[in-house]
């Protein structure tokens, strides 16, 4: 595990309040930071605001006050175009419900970044996706994703998030639909492709195996968040 | 400078250039969009996912386009076919009355009761130096449902572009139009009156001696007999066969003895002479008119109706276009989770816009091409029915202008398709859309 005191802050949250749809506060964070190059795990009971915070880090939850500094820029002050560019270039996201295009095959789903990326970069993304899918043991590349098993779909979603070579991977309950063995393999894969090569992994999870392997762990509950490791 | 260059081009070159621009413009934009983004995997995926909706939209556009194609092509073909059928009838001289009735009865052989011209008018026509021939035309009888037309050999030669020294050797001979079933040697008995009338059979027999070549006129569906045969059948006198419509004074004298006829078809040496004859024979006892001119007036009246129908057709097409775009919008809204995912993955708004626009463009282009094909098949089917019904050769032709009109509609739809694309692409999504 890396030592957080030597790491550079990637995210710094200050006086951050996340609100519910109706406007009432869901989560308040006085001050917190997530260092670069580490595996940060957000844990806590359902409804504590784990996913809300994770997506706020991606610029997808703007129902908030306070600041989320990312590499020194306050996400709350960025336009939606700037946030989209940030997600495109720096963030990879694994959704809890995968959010795959069921009618597309595994390869097209995983190489989605190539659809809008520069032509010169498409070949690289596609080569990387080929390697990732092979590493993730997705052999059926031609069938629509609707025909894949839950585990396979999960791995395609991971491949898509890793394909962009983003410096940060945000994962929402990535092992939720996997058995213990497959879950452990997935954690290894995620870590190998992020913290293993100097990138950051931020995941929210109930899974003790994930919490166990994280560099820093933040617990959410009772409207607040505290670091437990 | 450009204006001068453009004006110096022929109309067909201008039409072709406009069409090329109307086709290349959307294809060029589509090509450019495909080069910028790799859209086809998602577009084909969405088309597969919503096969039925996509097919319905393509069919809707196809049918709307086909209706426009059928209408525009058919109207032109009908006008051109009718005009062509009247082409050989330079000047008609009939008893004073309705020119339209004279036209319909003489050129299109429609059952119409025309008053008779006095024989003196025929004699006067034959006296004119500039008249090549003035052929009497008599009708009102039929054989097995085919109209029986009495006239002279001059007119038959003129209509068929065939020079024969004598079409008839005897008064009881008949020439079968190219679209009649009669064969050489057939013996027919004429019946008095029109097909729909309570007609009775004449005693005289006629023998088919020739089948006429195609003229492209209603006369292809008729039996042509010497005018003298008609007079004889009707007990108006037993006249010797004289099949020359112009000529000498002895012939003129004999014409004065003949019964009246409904009309004369006059062919003159030149156009100037035709105008003089028209003026001269628009008198108390006769009415002279150019069939083409009457037809043109008729078309101008019908043209206003056609314009209204044309506008209604375009409006219908526009409404179908709007309905299609609304369907695309609703379809895309039903896929909002997909667009939320693209948004979350950082797909630029221009990508999401291009995706929806390309999806709509594929449906619109497929529907338009289908409509063009269906329209062409429909126009031919309708033309064949009209040819049979009107006995006038109606040949539809898909002109550059027709295709340009369709291409213009295609471009308008593609521009309108920007609207649902913009509405969906501008949507901001939050994590609640996919959590």
Sign of CA dihedral A59, A60, A61, A62: positive
CA distance B363 to chain A (A): 18
B51 touches chain A (CB under 8 A): no
Q: For residue A7, is pLDDT > 70?
A: no
Q: Which two tokens stand for residue A78?
A: 């960025």
The mean pLDDT of A17-45, rounded to a whole number, is: 92
Q: Which of B343, B345, B432 sits opposite A112 (nearest CB)?
A: B345
Q: Which of B289, B309, B325 is the last residue of a domain?
A: B289
Given an 8 Å threshold on Cβ–Cβ distance, is A104 in contact with B41?
yes
Residues 6+ apart with CB under 8 A from B425: B339, B349, B350, B352, B353, B356
In tens, the pLDDT along B100-159 reads 888 888 888 887 778 888 888 888 888 888 888 889 998 878 888 888 999 988 889 888
Q: Is a pLDDT exceeding 90 seen at residue B201?
A: no
Q: What pLDDT is stored for residue A213 in this prediction?
A: 94
Shared domain for B129 and B278, answered yes or no, is: yes
Do B50 and B80 fall within a single domain? yes
- Chosen for mutation from A87, A100, A115 (greatest number of chain B CBs closer than 10 Å) is A115
Assigned domain for B404 exists: yes
Let me know whether B118 and B261 are in one domain. Answer: yes
- Asked if the structure places residue B242 within a domain, the reply is yes
Q: Which two tokens stand for residue B261?
A: 């006829």
Which of A99, A114, A115 is nearest residue B434 as measured by Cβ atoms? A99
For chain B, the average pLDDT equals 84
Rounded to whole angstroms, the Cα distance separating A25 from A10 reads 25
The count of CB pairs under 8 A between chains A and B is: 88
Residue B5 is assigned to a structural domain of this protein: no
Contact B338 A52 (CB under 8 A): no
* pLDDT above 90: percentage of residues in chain B: 29
Q: Which of B32, B53, B345, B352 to mutate to test the interface with A (most CBs of A within 10 A)?
A: B345
Residue A191 pLDDT level (bands cut at 50, 70, 90): very high
Please report the pLDDT score of residue A216 as a whole number: 95
Does residue B216 lie in a domain region? Answer: yes
Q: Which residues on B lie below 8 Å from A81 (Cβ)?
A: 348-349
Choose between B2 and B272: higher pLDDT.
B272
Which of A85, A101, A156, A166 to probe the B interface (max B CBs under 10 A)?
Answer: A101
pLDDT (0 to 100) of residue B37: 93
Picking from B133, B117, B138, B139, the residue whose alpha carbon sits closest to that of residue B277 is: B133
Residues of A in contact with B349 (CB under 8 A): 81, 84
pLDDT reading at B250 higher than 50? no
B2 part of a folded domain: no
CA distances to B69, B309, B347 from B397, in Å: 11, 20, 47
Establish how many alpha carbons lie within 13 A of residue B85's alpha carbon, considering only the half-sphere containing its beta carbon.
27
CB proximity under 8 Å: A 175-204 to B: none
CA distance A99 to chain B (A): 6
pLDDT at res. A161: 93
Same domain, B197 and B335: no
CB-CB under 8 Å, A63 with B49: no
- Domain count for chain B: 2
Distances (CA, A) of B73 to A47, A81, B302, B372, B398: 67, 50, 16, 11, 6
The conformation of residue B432, written as its DSSP 8-state character, comes to G
B-chain CB neighbours of A113 within 8 Å are: 345
Owning domain of residue B382: 11-84+299-433
Query: Using the beta-carbon criterion (under 8 Å), do B344 and A52 form an inter-chain contact?
Result: no
Asked if residue B329 and residue B198 are part of one domain, the reply reads no
* CA–CA separation, B18 and B11 (whole Å): 10
Do A95 and A144 form a contact (C-beta atoms < 8 A)?
A: no
Residues B266 and B310 in one domain: no
Among the partner-chain residues B49, B342, B430, the one whose CB lies closest to the CB of A61 is: B430
> In terms of domains, do B197 and B219 share one?
yes
ipTM value for the complex? 0.91
Q: Which domains does chain A have, with CATH numbers?
A: 37-58+82-227 (3.40.50.300)
pLDDT band at A17 (very low <50, low <70, confident <90, very high): very high
Let me know whether B311 and B267 are in one domain: no
What pLDDT is stored for residue B199 in this prediction? 56
Verify whether the Cβ–Cβ distance B346 to A87 is below 8 Å.
yes
Candidate from A146-160, A197-211, B157-171, B232-246 with smallest mean pLDDT: B232-246
DSSP letters, B370-401, are HHHHHHHHHHHHHHHHHHHHH-S-------HH
Query: Which A residues, 62 through 121, put their C-beta within 8 Å of a C-beta on chain B?
Result: 62-63, 80-81, 84-89, 91, 93, 95-97, 99, 101-104, 108, 112-116, 119
Half-sphere exposure of B426 (CA within 13 A, CB side): 7
Per-residue pLDDT at B246 exceeds 50:
no
CB-nearest partner of B45 from A52, A87, A104: A104
Chosen domain end from B261, B289, B317: B289
Band (pLDDT 50/70/90 cuts) for residue A3 is very low
CB contact under 8 A, A51 and B431: yes
Contact present, B150 and B190 (Cβ < 8 Å): no
Residue with the larger pLDDT of the pair B307 and B7: B7
State the pLDDT at residue B357.
Answer: 94
Q: Are residues B308 and B253 in the same domain?
A: no
* pLDDT-derived band at A2, boundaries 50, 70, 90: very low
The residue-averaged pLDDT of B208-236 equals: 86
B182 at interface of A, judged by CB pairs closer than 8 A:
no
Question: Per the CB < 8 Å rule, is A108 touching B41?
Answer: yes
Name every chain B residue with its beta carbon within 8 A of the beta carbon of A51. Answer: 431, 435
pLDDT of residue B256: 63
Residue B349, chain A, CB below 8 Å: the answer is yes
* Domain assignment of residue B342, yes or no: yes
Question: Which pLDDT value is given to residue B248?
Answer: 41
The residue from B289, B317, B344 where one domain ends is B289
Residue B424, in any domain of the structure: yes
Q: What is the mean pLDDT of residues B155-169?
A: 84
Nearest CA in chain B to A107: B41
- The average pLDDT across A34-50 equals 93
- Rounded to a whole number of angstroms, the distance from the CA of B433 to the nearest CA of chain A is 10
- Domain contains B39: yes
Of B263 and B86, the structure prediction assigns the larger pLDDT to B263
Could A58 and B37 be called an inter-chain contact, meaning their C-beta atoms sit closer than 8 Å? no
Q: Which residue has the higher pLDDT, B197 or B331?
A: B331
Q: Least CB-CB distance to B428: which of A80, A89, A113? A: A80
Q: What is the pLDDT of residues B2-55, one digit of tens each?
A: 566 888 888 889 989 999 999 999 999 999 999 999 999 999 999 988 899 999
> What is the distance between the alpha carbons of residues B36 and B85, in angstroms, rounded to a whole number?
56
Q: Which of A199-208, B64-73, B186-195, B389-398 ranks highest by mean pLDDT?
A: A199-208
Terminal C-alpha separation, chain B: 62
pLDDT (tens digit per residue) in A83-139: 999 999 999 999 988 899 999 999 999 999 899 988 888 888 899 999 999 988 888
- Judge: A60–B344 Cβ closer than 8 Å, yes or no: yes
Looking at the fold, whether B183 and B285 belong to one and the same domain comes out as yes
Q: What is the pLDDT of residue B372?
A: 92
Does the pLDDT of residue B242 top 80, yes or no? no
**Per-residue model confidence as pLDDT tens digits over B348-358:** 999 999 999 99
> Which secondary-structure segment (H or E) carries A204?
strand A200-204
In a shared domain, residues B44 and B159: no
What pLDDT is attached to residue A4?
44
What is the least distance, in Å, from the CA of A128 to any CA of chain B? 17
Per-residue pLDDT at B433 exceeds 90:
no
Residues B353 and B378 in one domain: yes
């Amino acid at each position: 595990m890396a030592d957080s005191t030597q790491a550079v802050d990637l995210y710094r949250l200050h006086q951050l309040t996340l609100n519910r749809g109706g406007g009432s506060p869901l989560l308040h964070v006085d001050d917190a930071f997530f260092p670069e190059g580490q595996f940060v795990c957000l844990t806590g009971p359902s409804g504590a605001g784990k996913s809300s915070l994770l997506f706020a880090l991606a610029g997808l939850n703007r129902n908030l006050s306070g600041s989320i500094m990312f590499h020194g820029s306050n996400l709350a002050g960025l336009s939606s175009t700037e946030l989209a560019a940030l997600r495109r270039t720096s963030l990879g996201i694994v959704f809890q419900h995968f959010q795959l295009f069921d009618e597309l095959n595994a390869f097209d789903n995983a190489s989605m970044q190539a659809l809008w990326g520069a032509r010169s970069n498409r070949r690289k993304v596609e080569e990387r996706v080929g390697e990732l899918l092979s590493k993730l043991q997705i052999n059926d590349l031609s069938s629509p994703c609707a025909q894949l098993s839950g585990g396979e779909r999960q791995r395609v979603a991971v491949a898509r998030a890793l394909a962009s070579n983003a410096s940060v991977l945000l994962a929402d309950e990535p092992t939720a639909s996997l058995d213990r063995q497959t879950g452990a393999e997935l954690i290894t894969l995620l870590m190998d492709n992020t913290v293993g090569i100097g990138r950051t992994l931020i995941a929210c999870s109930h899974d003790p195996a994930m919490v166990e392997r994280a560099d820093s762990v933040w617990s959410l509950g009772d409207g607040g968040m505290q670091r437990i490791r | 400078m450009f204006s001068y260059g453009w004006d110096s081009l022929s109309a067909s070159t201008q039409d072709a250039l406009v069409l090329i621009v109307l086709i290349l413009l959307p294809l060029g934009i589509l090509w450019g969009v495909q080069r910028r983004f790799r859209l086809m995997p998602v577009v084909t995926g969405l088309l597969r996912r919503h096969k039925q909706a996509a097919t319905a939209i393509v069919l809707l556009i196809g049918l709307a386009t086909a209706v426009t194609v059928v209408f525009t092509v058919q109207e032109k073909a009908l006008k051109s076919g009718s005009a062509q059928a009247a082409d050989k009838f330079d000047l008609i001289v009939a008893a004073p009355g309705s020119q339209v009735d004279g036209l319909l009865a003489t050129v299109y052989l429609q059952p119409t009761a025309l008053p008779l011209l006095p024989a003196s008018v025929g004699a006067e026509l034959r006296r004119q130096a500039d008249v090549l021939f003035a052929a009497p035309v008599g009708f009102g009888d039929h054989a097995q449902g085919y109209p029986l037309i009495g006239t002279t050999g001059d007119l038959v030669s003129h209509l068929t572009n065939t020079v024969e020294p004598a079409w008839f050797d005897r008064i009881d001979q008949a020439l079968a139009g190219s679209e009649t079933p009669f064969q050489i040697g057939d013996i027919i008995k004429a019946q008095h009156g029109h097909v729909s009338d309570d007609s009775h059979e004449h005693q005289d027999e006629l023998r088919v001696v020739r089948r006429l070549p195609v003229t492209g006129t209603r006369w292809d569906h008729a039996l042509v007999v010497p005018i003298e045969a008609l007079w004889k059948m009707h007990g108006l006198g037993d006249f010797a066969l004289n099949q020359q419509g112009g000529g000498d004074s002895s012939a003129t004298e004999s014409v004065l003895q003949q019964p009246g006829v409904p009309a004369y078809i006059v062919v003159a040496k030149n156009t100037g002479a035709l105008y003089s004859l028209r003026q001269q024979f628009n008198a108390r006892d006769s009415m002279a008119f150019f069939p083409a001119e009457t037809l043109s007036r008729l078309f101008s009246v019908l043209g206003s109706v056609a314009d209204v129908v044309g506008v209604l057709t375009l409006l219908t097409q526009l409404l179908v276009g709007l309905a299609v775009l609304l369907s695309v919008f609703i379809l895309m809204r039903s896929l909002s989770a997909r667009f939320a995912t693209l948004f979350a993955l950082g797909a630029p708004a221009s990508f999401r816009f291009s995706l929806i626009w390309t999806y709509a463009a594929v449906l619109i282009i497929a529907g338009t091409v289908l409509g063009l094909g269906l329209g062409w098949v429909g126009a031919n089917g309708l033309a064949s029915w009209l040819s049979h019904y009107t006995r006038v050769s109606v040949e539809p032709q898909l002109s550059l202008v027709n295709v340009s009109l369709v291409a213009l509609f295609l471009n308008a739809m593609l521009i309108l398709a920007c609207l649902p694309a913009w509405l969906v692409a501008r949507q901001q999504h939050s994590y609640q859309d996919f959590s």
